[in-house]
Amino acid sequence: MPRRCTVCDHPERNGIDDALVSGAPYRSVARRFGLSESAVYRHKTEHLPARLLKAREAEEVAQADDLLEQVRHLQTHALDILDRAEKTGDLRTALAAISQARGNLELLGKLAGELDERPVVNLNVSTEWLELRAVIVGALEPHPAAHRAVLKALKSASNG
Ligand SMILES: [Zn+2]
């Protein structure tokens, strides 16, 4: 068992960390919170960096999640437009919607790459990709030329 850190166990740990991060000398922090200088010094050098790193990672993941959510939202719109265009036989709009959807997929793919360490998110992206692919390809089956073009575009997008 590692020796317990009186700073990590301190009820005001967040306040102590904030003070240390903002550059307050560990001696004055120790005085302010009634801790030993050596404990604060050890905490600052051994525990604080890892904690800051974790906080930054959590923030980055949250931002990526937010972006992912927005792209998914756009994707829902693009697919809705594709669906409506398909029903009215408006092939030009359908193709524009597909092009938009493809751009969204590229973004989703990039985001998935950035979220490599989170298999659950990757799984969602992958499921979304497969569903979308099936929807696009299925919707274009009555239009052989567009069908071929989209299959080709999807293939090159997944290769690159
Ligand atoms: Zn500590």
6-54 confidence digits (pLDDT tens): 999 999 998 999 888 888 899 999 999 999 999 999 999 999 888 887 8
CA dihedral 138, 65, 57, 17 (to 10 degrees): -170
Residue-wise pLDDT for 75-88, tens only, equals 889 999 999 998 99
Q: How far is the CA of 2 from the centre of ligand 1 (A)?
A: 11
Q: How far is the CA of 126 from the centre of ligand 1 (A)?
A: 40
Q: Give the integer Cα–Cα distance in Å for 149 and 102.
A: 12
Residue-wise pLDDT for 54-112, tens only, equals 887 888 778 777 877 888 888 889 999 999 998 999 989 999 998 888 888 887 777 76
Q: How far is the CA of 103 from the centre of ligand 1 (A)?
A: 46
Phi, psi for residue 117 in degrees, rounded to 5 = -80, 0
- Residue 37 tokens read as 């200088």
Arithmetic mean of pLDDT, 119-128: 54
The predicted pLDDT at position 123 comes to 45
Q: Give the integer Cα–Cα distance in Å for 32 and 35.
A: 8
- Residue 42 tokens read as 């050890």
Q: Which residue has the tokens 């990672």?
A: 57
